[in-house]
Amino acid sequence: MTTPLPDGIWISNENPERREGAAALFLDRDGVIVREVDYLFRPEDVVLERGAAKLIGWAHAQGLAVAAVTNQAGIARGRFGWPDFEAVEAEIARQLRAAGVALDLIVACAYHPDHTDGYDDAHARWRKPGPAMIDLAAEKLGIDRSRSFMIGDKASDVEAARNAGLAGAIHVLTGHGPEERGAAMTLARPGFEVIAAADPEEALALLSARRFGAAR
């Protein structure tokens, strides 16, 4: 029996195709898959980030799962609603399909500590840097976290990857990357690597050179 998701958490597919034991690439949405737009809620504002579609296609060619995990505090703030979010997701999916690729799974969290009633530790686990969105995607897809990476433009993306037990993260300078680079790079630890890249295109080059996802 599937445990119902809490209010404020959205998943694109409750039963995605599983990739048992495969590595996965987790992507932040805004600033990684699409160009950063403060509180993106209009489909006409969706523009794929440079190299994002190519990165997803490469990952699938290597047998990797690809999941997006995204904080969407604009919902908690009342800037837009889930129907607006879903319309944006439909446009992102359309543009990715036009490039010949698709995401395996998307998980979104609408919580915000200042705008969610009764915000507590349970909410904080879902909102990045909490690990619960990655935990959920990993469980649904059946992936091996110890060989999986996150790509994000914020330190909270990197910290979420570390909290979820991933092998490492790549921090990019797209989106909020320039102001977040310093904090992101301090999150490296033994067994958790943080790599600097300019954008998703350079992230792909770095991952490809390292044979990311290869079985140990």
Asked about 45 being catalytic, the answer comes back as no
Exactly one of 28, 104, 135, 157 is catalytic; which is it?
A: 28
Q: How far apart are CA 67 and CA 12, in angstroms?
A: 10
- Written as six digits, the tokens of 123 are 């909410």
Cα 60 to Cα 19: distance, rounded to the nearest angstrom: 11
Look up 120 and say whether it is catalytic: no
* Contact (CB, 8 A) for 167 and 46: no
By the 10 Å C-beta count (0-12 exposed, 13-18 middle, 19+ buried), 139 is classed as exposed
**Which residue in the list 7, 30, 84, 120 is annotated as catalytic?**
30
End-to-end CA distance of the chain: 33
Could you list the active site residues?
Answer: 28, 30
